[in-house]
Homo-oligomer: A and B are copies of this chain.
Amino acid sequence: MPIVEVTVIPVGTESTSLSRYVADMQRILEQAGESIRYQLTPMSTIIEGDLSDLLHVVRLLHESPFAGGANRVCTSVKIDDRRDHHSSMEQKMQSVAERLRSS
Q: Which residues in A have some Cβ–Cβ distance to B below 8 Å?
A: 3, 5, 7, 9, 11-20, 22-23, 26-27, 39-44, 46, 51, 55, 58-59, 62, 66, 71-85, 89-90, 92-93, 95-96, 98-100, 103
Contact = CB atoms under 8 A, between A and B. Distances in A.
A42 to B, nearest CB: 4
| Majority secondary structure, A binding face | mixed
- Quickly give the copy total for this chain: 4
Sorted from nearest, which 8 A-B pairs have the closest CB atoms? Answer: A12-B16, A23-B99, A19-B95, A71-B84, A42-B89, A16-B72, A5-B43, A72-B82
A14 B17 contact: no
A59 B66 contact: no
